[in-house]
Structure 1
Amino acid sequence: MHLDGVLFFPVTPFTPDGGLDEEALREHVERGVAAGAGGVFAACGTGEFNALGLDEYERVVRIAVEATAGRVPVLSGAGGSLPFARSCAEAAARAGAGGLLLLPPYLVNAPVRGLVKYVEQVSAATELPAIVYQRGNARFTPEAAVELAAMPNVMGFKDGLGDLDLLQRIVLAVRQAGHREFTFFNGLPTAEMTVPAYRGIGVNLYSSAVFCFVPEVALAFHKAVTAGDGEMVQRLLAGFYRPLVELRDLVPGYAVALVKAGVTLRGLDAGPVRPPLVDAAPEHVARLERLIGKGLEIAGC
């Protein structure tokens, strides 16, 4: 599986009474693919994987696969307790996903040896290729990353820690081990803020939550950074992404809630978030709306 371009992590729309809004999800994915997403990652962090039941999860993945219609790869989240993660992997395969993003195990802090076994057992539940997500309580050593890269079903490594020293050592160790092609990408919240730094160590792919609600800005940034247009990169970082991050950091969980608010502001009602997250406050939504306008202005849209 080859991934390229801006990676799209759709939200999971809910109805006012908290149910899954299947039609809104379908339209959201269709819009993102039509806008130029390089891949769709359904039911992951931005898609509130943590809040979905297994039946809902499978429906979300199936709708994403149907809406994408084979135009780009579709991957989905799997994580939590070992039995639930394996059930997610099996459900994703039934729903037609092309791969998995392996999220951290539930709550516990574990030694690296246990994390490697967790990845091994979840990835063995299906033949789907998997990307391992390093963040929170799932922190790997370079030696462990080499073990992951040797597993038949593991195709990549997504970093959500932001420890560039550790990631540089992981990248070097995996590449020096001489395994097959292995994909690395930046998975920090609002990843564009750190894209220049990650590119400096050879990690060019990144996930974009911004693409969910203002793909014009996300694509303008991607075009600028890949073309070496440093002036446009800096204008977008200073004028749009930095104030967005400052707004996001006001309330825990706004990395999802603000994205949902942005999707709604752009004309598709994404509904509320599920507890324990909280919806963006009206004054913060108003700030987000002004930021969207500023971003579009900078991008020339």
Structure 2
Amino acid sequence: MTLDPDTTRRLRDGMAGGVLSFPLTSFHADGSLDPDGFRTHVAAQIATAPGAVFPACGTGEFFSLDEDEYRRVVTIAVEESAGRVPVVAGVGYGWAQASRFARIAEDAGADALLVLPHYLVAAPQDGLVAQLEHLAARTRLPLIAYQRGQVAFGVKAFRRITEIPNVIGLKDGHSDLDRLQRLTLAAPEGFLFFNGAATAEIQARAYATVGVPAYSSAVHAFAPEIADAFFTALHAGDDKTTDRLLRDFYVPLVELRDRVPGYAVSLVKAAARLRGRPVGPVRAPLTDPSAADLADLKAVLTTGLDLVGASL
């Protein structure tokens, strides 16, 4: 399919100017979707001028949304963006189901799609390529492949996916810099790369050394002041500020995140609630933090906000 090169340009420009926002999906206390809460939350995210906004992805609990909920989430993100920043919606599962979500995102006005790792099964390289080929043939939207978990492209397979007209980028969550360097060297000119490691700021310097300075920021979902301060310091070469934020905020946050599986999302939602954001609880199989962990999170968040001159 012929793609509008404007989407790639807008993403590239956005990546150079700010972090990538992955908004949380708001739920009521009973677990039902809270569209008004999500609208408030995503509007606040977009108001901080991120490089792009990625609704219904991992941080947005894509895996827990049905198709009607997904439609509402992506539509709201597009409406609130109003063309100010690119909207990249998550899609996933096998290519057949991913194609259904892709059609919904396309109808809602999304600019591109992030192809989340497929469900459960390990697959050979040919299968990973075929997954993207099938999906690309069924949508006009640009695709960003996400390698994480059971998806990891070798150089030969990577070259093949770059030849798929719809595929414009790769988000990496493996943090295997040797492999990633080989992929960046094999990429065609203009191909986009994103650092998608958990709490990506921790590895932002390392990723930049292999030519991948752009990164997603879960912290932006609850403390854009901290995320933006880190981004500014990193790109200005302000090592003193970067080190202080890493040492006193990001590293303690990661140590807390690693206590319980799923806290990569649960803690982000809890931190947003601590700041009065209308995001609600997580959906099962995730669980909200314990009272003790919530107290520790509040202390870490308060320290981080103090470092950038903001308050809880």
TM-score, length of structure 2 as denominator length? 0.93
Check if 1:46 corresponds to 2:55.
no
Q: 1:291 aligns with which of 286, 296, 300?
A: 300
Give the Cα separation in 2 of the matches to 1:288 and 1:185: 27
Q: In the alignment, what sits opposite 1:162?
A: 175
Q: In the alignment, what sits opposite 2:88?
A: 75
Q: 2:45 aligns with which of 32, 36, 45?
A: 32
Give the Cα separation in 2 of the matches to 1:141 and 1:128: 24
Give the Cα separation in 2 of the matches to 1:245 and 1:184: 23
Q: Deviations over 1:254-292 (max 9, x none)?
A: 010011111111111311111111111122111111111
Q: 1:124 aligns with which of 137, 141, 144?
A: 137
Structure 2 spans left out of the alignment, 5+ residues? 1-6
Give the Cα separation in 2 of the matches to 1:125 and 1:258: 36
DSSP-derived class of the 2:27 partner: coil
Q: In the alignment, what sits opposite 2:270?
A: 261
What does 1:208-219 align with in structure 2 at a 5 Å threshold?
208-219=217-228
What does 1:58-73 align with in structure 2 at a 5 Å threshold?
58-73=71-86
Structure 1 spans left out of the alignment, 5+ residues? none
Show structure 1 runs of 4+ deviating over 6 A.
none
Give the Cα separation in 2 of the matches to 1:125 and 1:17: 36
Residue identity (%):
52
Deviation at 1:180, TM superposition (A): 4.4
Give the Cα separation in 2 of the matches to 1:280 and 1:96: 35
2:267 and 2:289 in contact (8 A); partners too: yes
RMSD of Structure 2 on Structure 1 (CA): 0.9
One-letter amino acid matched to 2:252:
P
What does 1:1-301 align with in structure 2 at a 5 Å threshold?
1=7, 2-3=10-11, 4=15, 5-174=18-187, 179-301=188-310
DSSP-derived class of the 2:307 partner: helix
DSSP-derived class of the 1:42 partner: coil
Give the Cα separation in 2 of the matches to 1:205 and 1:157: 11
2:38 and 2:278 in contact (8 A); partners too: no
Q: Deviations over 1:195-221 (max 9, x none)?
A: 000011110100000000000000000
DSSP-derived class of the 2:83 partner: coil
Give the Cα separation in 2 of the matches to 1:51 and 1:39: 23
